[in-house]
Structure 1
Amino acid sequence: MYVVSYFTNAEEALHLAYSHDGEEFAAVNGGRPVLRGTVGTGRLRDPFIGVGPDGLFHLLATDGWTSPHIVHATSADLLTWSDQELLEGMAGVEGALNAWAPEFFLDRGTGLYHLVWSSVVEAGSTAEGRDFEHVGQNHRIWHCTTEDFRAFSAPGLFFDPGHSVIDATVREREGGGFLMAYKDERGTNDLATAHKDIHLTTFETPGGPYTATAGPVTPSVVEGPSIFRRGGELVMIFDHYLEGRYGAARSKDGVDWEPVALALPSGMRHASVLEAPSLTSLAPR
């Protein structure tokens, strides 16, 4: 089964949809949220769900535009959730203004889970008066590690190509190493801009070295990539956020990509795809 977690502009909360074939997705709970924010700003943007070391589903989400915290909660069935908490993602980093689009992946070689997110760091500055929603800022990809989602390492820089980047998503490659997709955040929020598209890089060890980046592998203007495996191919979905629609591409090797059509819920924003065993709580067969 495939489960998509997302938010909408109407309700910045956790929405879910499911699919048995990775092509047609049906909204859960009649399209209504399954979880609303209760901590921090009360917003759940860019929700990501993965399986943690305890076998539970772990939710990470963005706590609004200018919060340096990350929302975290756990669930056994994706419908009933633990109390939410705020993780101090950028704790101790002077000038950290935000923490966007948190995700995590497992490095099986070390047993460590790596949380990755996007942040602006400008010592001596604040977010006050900045239009984060409409004006691009100078982001890089940051991370920390954990074994148990209770104790976390100090945050550190994860990926810096020399220009603003956001929305990193990482998955293991068959045969070893990792594939990372991310958004080139340069340019402006209009359809004629350069950049604002998705690129790829690979690495053997979290934190690099990284291969030369490839791309763009999507049109512009898009963000929020998520990659899942469907049969013998990889499928990437991405948010055409200025146009209110979603796009997708597929690849046999993670290098060459071509457009593919998926049926996804309307109004979906910055979604992530979880590959999970069949969950009767979401979709009884």
Structure 2
Amino acid sequence: MKKLLLLIFLPIVFSCASNKKDLYIFTSFREPATDGLYLAYSEDGYHWQDLMGSYLKPKAGASKIMRDPSIVRDKDDTYHMVWTTDWKGGNGFGYANSKDLINWSEQKYIPVMAHEPEVVNIWAPEIFYDDEEDRYIIIWASTIPFRFEKGIEEEKNNHRMYYVTTKDFKTFSETKLFLDPGFSVIDCVIVKRAKNDYVLIIKDNTRPMRNLKVGFGKSPLGPFENISDPYTGFKSEGPTVLKVDGKYLIYYDNYGEKDYKAVRTSDFINFEDISDEIKLPEGHKHGTISTISIDVLKGLIKKMKEENE
């Protein structure tokens, strides 16, 4: 069956080679998160072909796992990736970079919460490239017990969002609070619509909610205000966004029903459920979407073919 899948992939890739357009790449992981990086690609942003994995075995962090891999492609076509290294414990996240998504730099552990001895976790670090300041903003969720007001959450499950900035992934700014909306929040994603016009997709992680909302701001660092009502159902998380034909697609892990869903919007006010229009590999989990060249994709398919022959 694997060889048959490979034969199906190849004509799709080479059909795009004539115009050399970029395609989309979707990072992922598989439970129990010890295998590392999985990938899928798409021509249209709706239908995703499994490139399988693992393309990077996790070595950073005490638990040696990789969850929530977030990736961004820079101006020199280098991919920078961060990921969750520990479900509980730890004070940082993993980082590595690659030109081809096959050969990776040495993995590093970035201890961004080392100054907080009571920190419970660091979840779902997400990279955003701030083109206004030519820097990268990395945001993540952490719990520091008794730091913030809470509802019915336990003290060790009362998250807020934090951030650092970097230009080179070698030196980082001081860690600061990114978002305190007055409730437990995780899995945030920054979206730039225009200059001074940003949207923040968030997961309200409070026990009654556990769904996705949006807020609006004039800077990628906020403040983000006018937080919306939920536009997804109970137990949904891990959003990622891409823009296709002038509209935004928000993919998310519908973990309550153990599947993936998506909505489409042009204004982040009205959302259309398009789950019946998308197709993702079985087992696909929380990741992010970037772009990929035909040449890099050919290399990935060649590696996948060699490892499955």
Q: TM-score range by the shorter chain?
A: 0.7 to 0.9
1:176-218 CA-to-partner distances (Å, cap 9, x unmatched) read: 422110100001xxxxxx3100010121123322221012111
Which residue of structure 2 lines up, in the alignment, with residue 93 of structure 1? Answer: 116
Mapped contact 2:145–2:155 kept (Cα < 8 A): no
Mapped contact 2:72–2:129 kept (Cα < 8 A): no
Mapped contact 1:3–1:18 kept (Cα < 8 A): yes
Which residue of structure 1 lines up, in the alignment, with residue 181 of structure 2? Answer: 161
Structure 2 CA distance, aligned partners of 1:277 and 1:178? Answer: 27
1:271 aligned counterpart, secondary structure: coil
Mapped contact 1:225–1:238 kept (Cα < 8 A): yes
Structure 1, 206-215 or 227-236: larger mean CA deviation: 206-215
Structure 1 CA distance, aligned partners of 2:46 and 2:156? Answer: 33
1:59 aligned counterpart, secondary structure: strand
Which residue of structure 1 lines up, in the alignment, with residue 140 of structure 2? Answer: 117
Match of 2:60 among 24, 39, 61: 39
Query: In the alignment, is residue 2 of structure 1 matched against residue 24 of structure 2?
Result: yes
The aligned amino acid for 2:56 is L
Q: Residue 42 and residue 14 in structure 1: after superposition, are their counterparts in 2 closer, same or farther (change >3 A)?
A: same
Mapping for residues 72-151 of structure 1, pairs under 5 Å? 72-122=95-145, 137-151=157-171
Which residue of structure 2 lines up, in the alignment, with residue 244 of structure 1? Answer: 258
Give the drift of 1:26.
Answer: 0.7
The aligned amino acid for 2:25 is V
Q: Residue 201 and residue 209 in structure 1: after superposition, are their counterparts in 2 closer, same or farther (change >3 A)?
A: same
Query: In the alignment, is residue 177 of structure 1 matched against residue 197 of structure 2?
Result: yes
Query: In the alignment, is residue 265 of structure 1 matched against residue 266 of structure 2?
Result: no
| Structure with larger Rg | 2
Structure 1 CA distance, aligned partners of 2:232 and 2:293? Answer: 29
Which residue of structure 2 lines up, in the alignment, with residue 191 of structure 1? Answer: none
Structure 1, 176-185 or 221-230: larger mean CA deviation: 176-185
Bigger share in helix = 2
Give TM-score, length-normalised by structure 2: 0.81
The aligned amino acid for 2:187 is D
Mapped contact 2:67–2:85 kept (Cα < 8 A): yes
Q: Residue 283 and residue 258 in structure 1: after superposition, are their counterparts in 2 closer, same or farther (change >3 A)?
A: farther
1:148-194 CA-to-partner distances (Å, cap 9, x unmatched) read: 1110011110000011000011121135422110100001xxxxxx3
Query: In the alignment, is residue 197 of structure 1 matched against residue 211 of structure 2?
Result: yes
Structure 1, 273-282 or 164-173: larger mean CA deviation: 273-282
Structure 2 CA distance, aligned partners of 1:257 and 1:57? Answer: 30
Mapped contact 2:73–2:80 kept (Cα < 8 A): yes
Mapped contact 2:128–2:190 kept (Cα < 8 A): yes
Give the drift of 1:10.
Answer: 4.2
Mapped contact 2:28–2:286 kept (Cα < 8 A): yes
1:281 aligned counterpart, secondary structure: helix
Query: In the alignment, is residue 231 of structure 1 matched against residue 253 of structure 2?
Result: no
Which runs of no fewer than 5 residues in structure 2 stay unpaired?
1-22, 148-152, 303-309
The aligned amino acid for 1:196 is R
Give the drift of 1:32.
Answer: 2.9
Which runs of no fewer than 5 residues in structure 1 stay unpaired?
125-131, 188-193
Structure 2 CA distance, aligned partners of 1:112 and 1:11? Answer: 29
Q: Residue 32 and residue 135 in structure 1: after superposition, are their counterparts in 2 closer, same or farther (change >3 A)?
A: farther
Aligned length: 268
Which residue of structure 1 lines up, in the alignment, with residue 299 of structure 2? Answer: 281
Query: In the alignment, is residue 208 of structure 1 matched against residue 217 of structure 2?
Result: no
Give the drift of 1:136.
Answer: 7.3
Structure 1, 204-213 or 256-265: larger mean CA deviation: 204-213
Give the drift of 1:76.
Answer: 0.1
Match of 2:73 among 51, 72, 76: 51
